[in-house]
Structure 1
Amino acid sequence: MQITLITPAPPGSKAGNRATAERWERLLNQAGHEVKVVTDYQGEPCDVLIALHAWRSHKAVRRFRDTFPNRPLIVVLTGTDIYDHQHRCPDDTLYSMKQADCLIGLHDLVARDIPEEFSDKLVTVLQSAEQVARRRAGPADGAFQVCVIGHLRREKDSLRAAQAARLLPKTSEITVVNAGKAHTPDWQAAAQAEQAANARFHWLGELDRRASQRLMQNSRVMVISSVMEGGANVVSEACRMGLPILASDISGNRGLLGEDYPGYFPAGDDAALASLMLRAETEPGFLETLTAEVDATAARFTPETEQASLERALALAVQRRS
């Protein structure tokens, strides 16, 4: 099929949605389809439209549905769609969800966080990561590096690990290294101020893919502290690398790591996160348990699994429109 995939993230962007669009382009091309990734849809003909973001892509959804009322439409639900825009901007967001023949959710618990009327057209597509070299054992000098990967923004609660590190005892060797572009000047100022005041915190700014992978390989634990999350691809990458994760207790993380994962902390809770980081540093058994859990989960995040899920979504969209 000829597929148009629209994403708001432009070429060259390191935003997660651009990475998703380009990875899906590759996977769908490998499956025999012809995929065109665009940031602005003007009604060009295609067999199927895949729209990343229900809210951000609602104009494209309207244009496609008005122009091609009988052709399949797939809408991908992001974290902001599910946990923000469907409540704050319901008209446009729910319009896209209603018009879609198939909705794609990026974690296993999306069904309980969207209107029940859409559950029969929801397909879960877990984002994949390529297999890379496993996490290294860590430096011999005793330093315990904790990484945070992702753009600095409100939804990610990006400085939570740095703030939690302030509560650690002086004997701790934990350092928090954050790699990500500041979403606004205010976030840049906040990161710079935290780095100046907190000896345990280092902000690297935006890194390319290889540098981000090296940071993860050289870290002992990754923190994902988001207050809302649609299904972060960095979780897939960490699991495939064998990197233990400390994650905020939200649906978007539970839907990837599982309900019984032992590394959750209440979102926004500095003391709880500091306690988990200290356990990871000082209790080898706890770190081994986290590692075993991410290793067991890694098989869910292969490119082959993601490709098969995308094909199921296409088949459902075509079936419902025919």
Structure 2
Amino acid sequence: MKDSSIWQPWLRETGLNKQHVIIISPATANANNGNWQTASRWAGFLSSSYDVSVMEEWDDSHCDLMIALHARRSATSLARFAQAFGHRPILLVLTGTDLYRDIHSDAQAQASLQLATRLVLLQDAGLQQLPPALRAKACVIYQSAPQPPDTPRVRADARFEVIMIGHLRTEKDPLTFMRAAAVVAPSRIRMTHIGGALDAALGRQAESTQRALPQYRWLGDLPHAQTLEYLAASDMMVIASRMEGGANVIIESVVHKVPVLASDIPGNRGMLGDEYAGYFPPGDSTALAALIDRACKDPVFRTILSSQCKERSGLFEPARERAALTSAVRELLAVT
């Protein structure tokens, strides 16, 4: 069911010649997840040149170009738009669940791939997931995060702070983080998880783990700005996901100079590179705990991770993302 109350125009300006771009984001601001951050940021990038609206589902309004996030969840809007305006372009952004699950088994997601004029991947390893015939219409746009102020970190104590950021759902694999908390060795380690319980059973497990382990705490869903404050004060960030399209939290960690420990999955390799030293096998809490222990005890290891993250930072600059996005949009609108 459509709900027009969940969308708003972004910085709408008067002007008879402005083309209208609609961004379909199944995630809204209340979801506070990576897809919403992408939709919000891209709306800001495009708003100086186009009349931009963000909505959860297409409301049949005039549109010169549709940008849709998520092949399966945006499939209905995308199909209706293609039927109504078959000659107008569609730019489809493929998420982690698209690339590493849905496009291989879901008919709606597969139909979206065919209807899209251009496919956008958020890291280059995702190209291998596409059928060879569709790779020619795909491009990679790395996401970005603004550079934070270069201020010293404020510490209340000498704890080694490890953070995981992501809603509690199976794809993010929060259980591996919880189980690692039970076996990390140094007593000064504290492991903090920020994210809402989208899966009630995982929420109950987080509460149980918090009661049982003083080194683990679950803070629930927090505003993005507050989450970044916790991230900036951390020594290490963990991403334990089973699938990722191009995680915003990796970018935010890199720009905040917080090294990453990442599950060894294609989406994370596409962000951090094949040579990155901080990978652990997906779901392996013992291996994750060993990496956390090593990072806590070994400053040389931390320096290696920090240096490797810094080497990737150029990919995640806002000017680079803005240029790639605006170039793709201009190209698509020029041929309509």
| Alignment correspondent of 2:160 | 144
Out of 171-180 and 251-260, give the one that drifted further: 171-180
SS for the counterpart of 2:61 is: coil
1:108 aligns with 2:132: no
The amino acid that maps onto 2:295 is A
Q: Amino acid of the residue matched to residue 298 of structure 1?
A: S
The Cα of 1:12 is off from its aligned counterpart by: 3.4
Give the match for residue 63 of structure 2. Answer: 46
Q: Which amino acid aligns with 2:262?
A: A
Aligned counterparts of 2:291 and 2:143: Cα–Cα separation in 1: 26
The aligned residue for residue 59 of structure 1 is: 76
Deviations 1:91-132 (A, max 9, x none): 111110111110011111111012111111111111110111
The answer to whether structure 1 residue 176 and structure 2 residue 194 are counterparts is no
The CA distance in 2 between the partners of 1:261 and 1:221, in whole Å, is 15
* Aligned counterparts of 2:277 and 2:35: Cα–Cα separation in 1: 28
Residue of 263, 280, 284 corresponding to 1:248: 263
Q: Distance in 1 between matches of 2:184 and 2:151?
A: 24
CA–CA separation in structure 1 for the residues paired with 2:333 and 2:111: 19
1:17 to 35, 39, 46: 35
* Aligned partner (choices 90, 94, 99) of residue 77 of structure 1: 94
**1:33 aligned residue:** 50
Matched, 1:302 2:317: yes
Partner SS for 2:53: strand
Provide the rounded CA distance (Å) in 2 between the counterparts of 1:134 and 1:276: 27
Deviation at 1:53, TM superposition (A): 0.6
Distance 2:208 2:150 in 1: 33
- TM-score normalised by the chain length of structure 2: 0.90
Query: Which consecutive unaligned segments of at least 5 residues does structure 1 have?
Result: none
Query: Structure 1 pair 316/269, CA: closer, same or farther in 2 (3 Å)?
Result: farther
1: CA distance, partners of 2:198 / 2:151 = 28
In the TM superposition, residue 303 of structure 1 has moved relative to its aligned partner by 1.2
The answer to whether the aligner puts 1:260 opposite 2:260 as a matched pair is no
Partner Cα distance (1:117, 1:138) in 2: 52
Q: After superposition, where does 1:181-196 map in structure 2 within 5 Å? A: 181-196=196-211
- Report if the CA contact (8 A) 1:104-1:313 is conserved: no
Superposed CA deviations along residues 173-194 of structure 1, whole A, max 9, x for unmatched, are 2111001001022121111111
The percent identity for this pair of structures is 37
Q: What is the CA-CA distance between 1:135 and the residue it aligns to?
A: 8.0
Higher RCO (CA 8 Å, separation ≥ 6 residues): 1
**1:157-180 CA-partner distances (Å, limit 9, x unpaired):** 0232221121222x4421110010
Report the AA paired with residue 119 of structure 2: L
> Which one is further off, 193-202 or 56-65?
193-202
Matched residues, number: 318
Q: Distance in 1 between matches of 2:263 and 2:175?
A: 13
- One-letter code aligned to 2:327: R
Flag the 1:135–1:230 CA change in 2: closer, same or farther, 3 A: farther
Does residue 153 in structure 1 map to residue 178 in structure 2?
no
| AA partner of residue 112 (structure 2) | S
> The residue matched to 2:93 in structure 1 has which SS?
strand
Task: Please report the TM-score for the alignment, with normalisation by the length of structure 1.
Answer: 0.94
Q: 2:115 aligns with which of 92, 96, 99?
A: 99
